[in-house]
Every structure is written in structure tokens, then in C-alpha cells.
Amino acid sequence: MCGIVGAVANRDIVPILVDGLRRLEYRGYDSSGVAVIEASQAINRVRAVGKVAELESALRKGSAPTGGTGIAHTRWATHGRPSESNAHPHMCRQRVAVVCNGIIENHDQLRSEQISAGYEFSSETDTEVIVTEIHRHLEQGLELRPAVQRTVEALEGAFAIGVIATDQPDRLVGARRGSPLVIGLKDGEAFLASDMAALIAVTQRFIILEDGDIAEISCGNVSVYDDGRPVQRPIHISPLSADAVELGNYRHYMLKEIYEQGRAVADTLEGRLTTNRLLEAAFGPDSGPIFDATKFVQIIACGTSYYAGLVARIWFEAHGIPCDVEIASEFRYRAHVVPDDTLLVAISQSGETADTLAAVQEAKRLGYRYCAAICNVPESALVRGADLVLMTHAGPEIGVASTKAFTTQLTALLLLMIALGRRYGMSADTEAKIVAELRSLPVKIEQALRLDTEIAQIAEQFADKQHALFLGRGAHFPIALEGALKLKEISYIHAEAYPAGELKHGPLALVDANMPVVAVAPNNQLLEKLKSNIHEVRARGGKLIVFTEAAAGIDADSDLQVLPVAPVDDSISPIIYSIPLQLLAYHVAVIKGTDIDKPRNLAKSVTVE
């Protein structure tokens, strides 16, 4: 989604802005731009459609801007198509420039008022009303920060903005409501960004703005205001290093992140287990009484995180823990009967997904008392608003397609299952067995990764296909859903997943030799049922690719290829079986030559509704 970078320093900050945009590229965007106040005190703006490389080449042409105060942006179109005129920064009469992430819901009304006041518009965006409104307030004699404050008060919606104006050329003002914004600190310099990752090459010291905050930033000086009153916000030291977001020797971030899963899962377990028990303190000091009181679990999430929730429901209910799972964007817009003593569990890699955050707010309004967050970004809005937090320590996930975030979410959900399961009669022996399986995960993940070469060969068969079907049962149906999502997301092949038992209720009509059918067939109590479904596909001339264990006894032939997964216990099997499906999607996308880390139309973190 959109990205903001800003800087104030006694040096040319354009390279910092452009480097910041590059580091935000993974979030997905369609155009970018930069605006700088130059020594002449005029704003010089350059914008380009496409990748940051296009902006860099535009910067090399003509009179490239240089200056010590500036803002930059990567845009993901919401209002108005991707074009240079819709790209940010937006300017008003060469006096003010603004970058914005988010959506201004009352932009039509503001635009009408501004047109009546004599302003003209040069874009189709909602952001242009912000810059115009700030200009109106500057015209009335306000300084930049109060002008931004007055403007923000008039805006409806969720947004984060960065503003510069020729009135105060050494100043940068940032404001947030509903979209993330951080300030980077360095001696004699200060920065603004929608994501710490943008600034990690220049600083690791950050202030995380709270909703409603307005920050006034000059060289090495930062003041934060809440409702017009100065407030102190703590300084965080980011554990991110510039290296953590480097590609290294990998061809794509997605592949790097698939291969990091053993380490990521080990980090997620680190410090949370004894030899045979879960350390409940992992959930924070308040967790005990909250877990004691929990009689029902409501999970909300989007996309891949939702699929992690679907697996968790099956795990939880197997241990007697009542649980429901819902897509956040659906949850937030319907009436609910709130079961007593429900623990709301929000799962999100980014912790900034607008629908998930809004669903949490709606749940709180409805009377859900406690919210537990399973999240990968410690500074995110989700984590900061949650009562209990279990961080997944996956490290930064750059590829738009979620991989290590998913397997670490599943790992974290198993920890939550143990914590709650203890209250539902889970025995110490069962806990010890699950803990042993959790500990074995990094090794088993490495084993699963060894299928890489074989999967790369099988991927060839998908390159000319338009559709694919994924089948699974029980806790492996959500894994089939995730496998189908991965394939469609990065290879643009239409893929659907079905609980295998549903085949004969409709999708079997689609099966022919042109539609590969991928079956997730672990050696568990549903295997015989799944074998019957495999026969149904074979009987219709379908071509099967089956991920299974040798002991399952599924034999390969001309219509059925077997990808042998090492034996794995049922308790962790969904985590292991998700890995070959990630590799399959990856290799198909490599063959198809798509933009794997930044698939078309998608954004890493969906911070708008």
C-alpha cells in the first residue's frame, strides 16, 4: 500500500527519500514522487508512474531537486487511476506539498467548498483536498502546524500525512489518524515514514506516533502534539537491521522468506517453552486470569492470516476449546451475538490491516472484553491496542505473498492452543508431546524444503494452465486454501481450494486433463476419505499432484504424481504441508515470469478498507 518518507537535515535529503521509497517498494504501489524545498525556497517536485526506478530516471533528467527538507511517496491507487498527475506529492499553488496514505471520506464535500473558494484541482485524488485545505489556513495567517491541525480536524477517514510548505522551509509536519506514521531520530536530523523499514539505513531510533498525533519536525528537533497540546512519546530502538531487509543471494524475497522458515519458527518458539511445557508468561503478565476466564475464542483476520485462523479452529476444538473464525471485513459489518467470556484473537502479519483493526474496534464496541494479537510487527497499531500479545518472530516479510508469516502464525496459534487447552483438560503428557513436536519443527521444515528441486520440475506442468484445483480435508483444507491463494497471487493462475468431500457437490464438473488437481494428503485419520476423493478425480481423467507420506500408500502412475513429504505428526502437519505448496506457487511464477515479490494489483499491507 502507499508509503511515506520525509526528511529534514542540513544536507541534500533526496538520496535518503529515494532510498526510503525503495525500501517501501515491497508494499506495492503504482507511482511515486518526491518534493523538496530547495535553497531558493521554492518546492521542486518530480513524479513518475511505475517503479521507483522510473522516478530515479526522472530525477536524473532535467533539474533534479536538491534540498534539506522534503517528502516522498509511493502510491497505490484508490481514488483515480495510476498517473503522474494523481501521484503524490500533491501541491497547492507552489506553496504547500502533501503526501498521504489512506482515504479521505468527505473529499467530495471539501472539494466543492474549495472550488467555491476559487481553488482549482489537477488530480482525481482525495489527497488534493488536504493540500488545498492547508493552503486555505496558511492564507488566513496560520503557521504550518496549526494549519495542518485545523485541516485534520476537517477530515473524515483514516490517513497519515506528511506536509512541507515554503512558509517554514526548515519544517516537516506529520499527522496520523488510523494509518501508521513514525519519526526517525538522528543527531541534527529527523525523518518521517509510514514504516520503520523505510528509514532503517539512516537510523534505528524511532518515535511511533499515536492516533491523533501531529508532529512538527525540524533539524534534530521533534515536537509531538495531541489535540494541540505537547505530549512526550517514548523512543523505541528498532531491532531491524538494514541487512534484514536485503535480498542476499536469493533471486526473490519470497524464496528467501520460504527458506527462512526454520529459523523464523525457532525464533517464535525461543524463550516460550521449557523441555516439555509452554511458558505462559510468553503471553504477558495479564494472560493467566484472561485465559482462566475464556470460554470461547473468536478469531478475526484477513487473507493468509485468516487461513491460519481456520487451522487454529480445528486445533482448538480438538482440545475442547470452542472457537469461531471470521474474515475481518465480514465480521465488522454484521450483527453479532457475543458469547460470554469470549477472547477475541486478531491475527495479522503487519498489524496494520485496516479491516482487521476496524473489526477489533467493532468487537470492543460490541462488548468483547479482551483482545489477543498474533502479529509480526511489534510497533503496529494492532499490537499497541491489544490486551495480550504473542509476537511471531518471523522478521521482516518483504514479499507480498505471505510465507514465513503464515508458518509462524500457526506456530504461535499452537502455543495459544496449549495455554487455553490446559484450562480444558489438556494433560501434561499431551502438552509435552505437542511441545516435542514444536521443537522438531525447524528440522522438519528443512526436510520439507528439500523437495524444492522436484517441485520446480512439477511446476513446469502448470505454466500453460489457466486453472488449478487444490484439495484437502480437516486442518489441511485451510492449507489447500493457502496453496491456492499463493498460486493465484503470484502466478495469476486461477486456483480454487475445496474440502475434498465437496468435490462431488459441484467442482468435479470442472475436472479434466487440463486442470491440475493438487491434493494435500497427510497420513492421518482422514487419509482413506481423501483417497476416495482422489479416485473420483482419476475416474474423470484428472491429473493429480499429491503431497503425501510414503506410508500413506498412494502410488504414482501416469495420471498421479506423488511428492513425498517426510513423516510428520498430525499436531504440526499443517505447518509442514504448507511449505511444498509455497514452493510450487513460487516455481510456477518463476516459469511464468511474473513480478513475484510485487504481484500486480496487490499490496503488502492493506491499510485501506
Residues interacting with ligand M6R, by CB under 6 A? Answer: 302-305, 348-350, 353, 356, 400-402, 485, 489, 605-606
Task: Give the nearest distance from C-beta 295 to ligand M6R in angstroms.
Answer: 26
Q: 489 or 536, CB closer to ligand M6R?
A: 489
Q: 309 or 516, CB closer to ligand M6R?
A: 309
Judge whether 176 and 226 are in contact, CB under 8 Å. no
Q: 8 or 347, CB closer to ligand M6R?
A: 347
Q: 417 or 606, CB closer to ligand M6R?
A: 606
Task: Give the nearest distance from C-beta 485 to ligand M6R in angstroms.
Answer: 6
Residue 51 among the catalytic residues: no
Task: Give the nearest distance from C-beta 178 to ligand M6R in angstroms.
Answer: 15
Alpha helices in 450-602 (DSSP H): 452-459, 477-491, 527-539, 573-592
Q: How many CB atoms lie within 10 A of CB 501?
A: 16
* Structure-block grid coordinates of residue 79: 481514488
Residue 92 among the catalytic residues: no
Nearest to 51 by CA among 29, 34, 35, 36: 29
CB-neighbour burial class of residue 234 (10 A; exposed 0-12, middle 13-18, buried 19+): exposed
Q: In what order do the strands lie in the sheet with 370-375?
A: 323-327, 296-301, 342-348, 370-375, 388-391
**Marked catalytic residue, from 256, 531, 543, 604:** 604
Q: 153 or 595, CB closer to ligand M6R?
A: 595
* Structure-block grid coordinates of residue 129: 483536498
Task: Give the nearest distance from C-beta 380 to ligand M6R in angstroms.
Answer: 9
Nearest to 450 by CA among 539, 325, 570, 579: 579
* Structure-block grid coordinates of residue 318: 480438538
* Structure-block grid coordinates of residue 267: 525464533
Nearest to 174 by CA among 123, 121, 99: 99
CA 210-212-214 angle, to 5 degrees, is 90
Ranked by CB distance to ligand M6R, the top (closest) residue is 303
Task: Give the nearest distance from C-beta 180 to ligand M6R in angstroms.
Answer: 12
Q: 370 or 406, CB closer to ligand M6R?
A: 406
Measure the CA–CA gap between 71 and 58, rounded to whole angstroms: 16
Judge whether 361 and 333 are in contact, CB under 8 Å. no
**Marked catalytic residue, from 2, 92, 219, 302:** 2
Measure the CA–CA gap between 535 and 272, rounded to whole angstroms: 43
Q: 69 or 305, CB closer to ligand M6R?
A: 305
Cβ neighbors of 352 (< 8 A, separation 6 or more) are: 179, 180, 377, 380, 381, 382, 605, 607
Task: Give the nearest distance from C-beta 69 to ligand M6R in angstroms.
Answer: 32
Nearest to 350 by CA among 597, 104, 180: 180
Task: Give the nearest distance from C-beta 191 to ligand M6R in angstroms.
Answer: 24
Catalytic residues: 2, 604
